[in-house]
Structure 1
């Protein structure tokens, strides 16, 4: 079975805006989505995304919730105002029910927690809304998701073990042991 969608599923306007401040991630996702038939543009900030929406509002969008210069929900709101029929996916490393509800209320079509791959994003963008998209073929284990979250917070705390442990409500030595190990598969 091919992971590539039928061009008819995408529709007459394949324009896709990707908004994420992780440049490597957004470039990798852009290439993968282009292989699936989308015409992609990438923005690394709220300001850049807003400018792109004014220039030409896309039919599809994948927007990170937390960006260095603001909140992705502002981009969701601007796109929804510019183009009511846009299919918008909010993508974030902080999967909390409150943010999912806020994203949907602002006009997002769906909400995906990072890390999500191009197949997950494509399924969410093209799902009809009446049925849930199929589960991922090879989902990450719970141990891997936990490890990824710890690594993200550790990076955001400028690799400060004590600060990371405080924010995660963990003992510093426990965190040091986790960080010393390789990530689970």
Structure 2
């Protein structure tokens, strides 16, 4: 069973459908007891950082999710909220990654939000990208990005800047792209995530 974190952000239905296509059952919840019974936890999201963090804090999830020791995957806004701070409404986030999320500065040829297919380059031998070649295309929808840092495990170029397409620290990983909307390559990333083992969740 895969737990999907409910926190008022969108895109949960798409993630559930992607898991269904893989034959994986899931539960959507903001209750840590229910999430703690799951083998893996996905933290998806399409929305605004400060509103999402307010929900997480009221539910006590901002601290509890940091303590999860099973495989944990943040998607898009989910990955950004795993960082320390976001420029979006100057929001203090969860601090799993010691990173600051900044606005993408577009131009006439590179619109914001960054929306559509773009290539990524895995920069580490990370199990999340097993069987994913360099240059594979994934689907992005975002206006903010995380710079390349020590926790970066994949990069993506856009608007003259190379940003983190994926991050990892321990069992906590995050991807800026949407694997649930990225066809066979996205399905492979989800399969790779589900293939990772995990220990009991600490609350």
Which one has the bigger strand percentage?
Answer: 2
TM over 0.5: no
Q: TM-score, normalised by structure 1?
A: 0.41
Which one has the bigger helix percentage?
Answer: 1
Who wins on radius of gyration, i.e. which is larger?
A: 1
Q: TM-score, normalised by structure 2?
A: 0.38
